[in-house]
Amino acid sequence: MTAVRFFSSLANVPALAWDALHDGRNPFVSHAFLHGLEAQGCLREEWGWTPHHATLWEGDLLVAAAPGYLKENSHGEFVFDHAWAHAYAQHGLDYYPKWLGGVPYSPVTGPRLLALDHGHRALLLTSIQDEALRLNLSSAHINFPTPAEDAGFPEGWLPRIDVQYHWRNPGHWRDFDGFLADFDHKHRKNIRQERAKVQRAGVTFRVVHGDDASETDLQVMFGFYLRTFRDYGNSPALTLQFLQHLATSLPRNLVLFLADHQGRTIAGALCLRGGDTLYGRYWGAESALPGLHFETCYYQGIDYCLREGLKIFEPGAQGEHKIARGFLPTFVYSRHWIARPDFSAALAAWSREETLAVRRYARSLQEHTPFKHRD
């Protein structure tokens, strides 16, 4: 008999059982990453993140699970539903709390319904809906599932799409020069000039994995992260302890690109590495040297992917400027179950219109590709 259980902490779920439900190629759904957020002070109650993980058990065997959270706001989700919350408020209804299936602060595509088979996955979704009704929640949401997973959602889970900018190796790029050879002259020249400015300034780069990172490296990178959030007036969610945790628990998944200049580290980008994908997450700098941002955040990552044989580089959400540097528009997905049938019908119509608009936007972006041709 299958039992449904929701947990307020992944400490209550054995790591081996959780990680047996996925192939290990996406570090963001690993027990080490998700539990690390909880244990190292990154999920703060005042920011609206309360762990509420969905699990299915057959006896002592974990057969399905979804990382989930009760949300009192939409902070740190990157799928924007503020208009929905406003619509609820206009009708005198509460949109929050809601249930969110996803990875906090991480707009990266990956598996969300971890299961041994399709039947357990379907039952997991039904259990999430039942839990939302039991708790009198307005809705349940699954953010950034894989395209294959998105295609398997049943009717009633409203689809939404958005656009990010991803680098993909079509298979014939062996090095950075080969990558640039597919660019038109204007964009190829611009990238070479950007890289040359950084080199002429005397900046050198180190690629440091978690198990090679010194305590100083981690502290400096964390300082850059804090500086960036402070510069933009945002509150940093991650802690130094979490970064230290990643370095020890996911040592080869954590990748730091550190820029050194005149004897000190002046900039850095924090990335995570998956099976065939590099995920850019955070960057920061204490210097505004020309070209430093693009070199640290994009070109060093592309170089790394080409050396390591990685096929995809997801540098983070938003940013049309990434197109000129070889990151092309890519659809990302989310699914939404709305408890009230009247609101579900209205939001379904809204989502259809949004989808048409996003697809038009993506087509317009394709006109600005820097490549001479697309394979």
Confidence check: pLDDT of 318 > 90? no
Residues 116 and 35 in one domain: yes
Residues 129 and 12 in one domain: yes
pLDDT score recorded for residue 373: 66
Residues 150 and 214 in one domain: no
Residues 17 and 81 in one domain: yes
Span 122-136, mean pLDDT?
98
Q: Does 175 map to a domain?
A: yes
Residues 238 and 300 in one domain: yes
Span 145-160, mean pLDDT?
96
Q: What is the domain-level CATH number for residue 97? A: 3.40.630.30
Q: Does 56 map to a domain?
A: yes
Q: Does 318 map to a domain?
A: no
Span 186-209, mean pLDDT?
98
What tokens appear for 269 in the block?
């980008």
Residues 180 and 131 in one domain: no
Q: Which of 18-27, 44-53, 293-302 has the lowest mean pLDDT?
A: 44-53
Q: Does 49 map to a domain?
A: yes
Confidence check: pLDDT of 208 > 70? yes
Residues 58 and 202 in one domain: no
Q: Does 42 map to a domain?
A: yes
pLDDT band, residue 374 (cuts 50/70/90): low
Q: Does 324 map to a domain?
A: no
pLDDT band, residue 187 (cuts 50/70/90): very high
Q: Which of 86-90, 199-203, 229-233 has the lowest mean pLDDT?
A: 229-233
Give the global pTM: 0.96
Query: Phi and psi (nearest 5°) for 149?
Result: -65, -40
Confidence check: pLDDT of 375 > 50? no
pLDDT score recorded for residue 103: 97
Residues 129 and 195 in one domain: no
Domain of 120? 2-160+333-366
Parallel, antiparallel, or unpaired for β 277-285 and 312-314? parallel
Residues 31 and 152 in one domain: yes
Residues 286 and 349 in one domain: no
Point out which residues pair with 98 in neighbouring strands. 71
Residues 156 and 14 in one domain: yes
> Average pLDDT over the chain, rounded to whole?
96
Span 44-52, mean pLDDT?
87
Instruction: Give per-residue pLDDT as tens, 4-46.
Output: 999 999 999 999 999 999 999 999 999 999 999 999 999 987 7
Residues 96 and 209 in one domain: no
Query: Phi and psi (nearest 5°) for 332?
Result: -125, 160
Exposure string of 9-37, with b = 16+ CB inside 10 Å and e = fewer, is ebeebeeebbebbbeeebbbbbbbbbbbb
Number of domains in the chain: 2
Instruction: Give per-residue pLDDT as tens, 324-365.
Output: 999 999 999 999 999 999 999 999 999 999 999 999 999 999
Query: Residue 97, preceding bond cis, omega within 30 degrees?
Result: yes
Q: Does 273 map to a domain?
A: yes
Span 249-267, mean pLDDT?
97
Span 306-315, mean pLDDT?
98
